[in-house]
Amino acid sequence: MTELDLTTFIRDVPDFPSKGILFKDVMPLLADPAAFRESIDRLAAWAGPRAPDVILGAEARGFIFGGALAYALGCGFVTARKPGKLPWTTVEASYDLEYGTDALQVHVDAIEKGARVIVLDDVLATGGTARAKIDLVNQLGGQVVGALFLIELSFLHGRDRIAGTDVHALIDYS
């Protein structure tokens, strides 16, 4: 079976959410049954051999891909959320976005010491979000066994922010 060209399901939206940002809109990919399934299958092919105990994904698109990936692998899913959203005691890490700054929190008991964690997102841009998620895993004593993305904007050099981490993306825009 030939692989689908997943890039044909990603829409470029210029100047969103602010001028100068070329936003990679994955909604057409999510809405297409074959493209969504193949995306998850290809993410799972990389993640599976790394034997994660949990996938860590941030809102909102990280929940969609992360939940489906965790189901496909038979592992758990942990949510990283913006401050004030999680009901239990949290730990926090702040980060810079391509367009702004923010912080992410996870529950203190969400990741067990020594747990194998893959951090996942739709897009690796500057790497700030991924850096924050890795910091959260480290704060809780987990072990990051991979950083996985649907899309990498490699011209932004996000990998430099998470040097030392095993990184993979299905699609690269260089």
Give the closest residue to 42 by CA, choosing from 79, 6, 78: 6
CB 126 within 8 Å of CB 95: no
Catalytic entry in 37, 38, 42, 61: 61
Catalytic entry in 38, 98, 131, 161: 98
Give the closest residue to 35 by CA, choosing from 60, 9, 11, 14: 9
Min separation Cβ 23 and ligand AMP, Å: 4
Cα angle 117, 118, 122 (rounded to 5 degrees) comes to: 150
Active site residue 42: no
Q: Is 64 helix (H, G, I), strand (E, B) or coil?
A: helix
Active site residue 37: no
Kindly list the residues in this chain that would bind ligand AMP in the complex (CB under 6 A). 21-24, 61, 97-98, 121-130, 153, 158
Min separation Cβ 2 and ligand AMP, Å: 27
Min separation Cβ 87 and ligand AMP, Å: 22
Q: Which is nearer to ligand AMP, 51 or 82 (CB)?
A: 82
CA 50 to chain centre: 16
Q: Which is nearer to ligand AMP, 11 or 141 (CB)?
A: 11
Catalytic residues: 61, 98
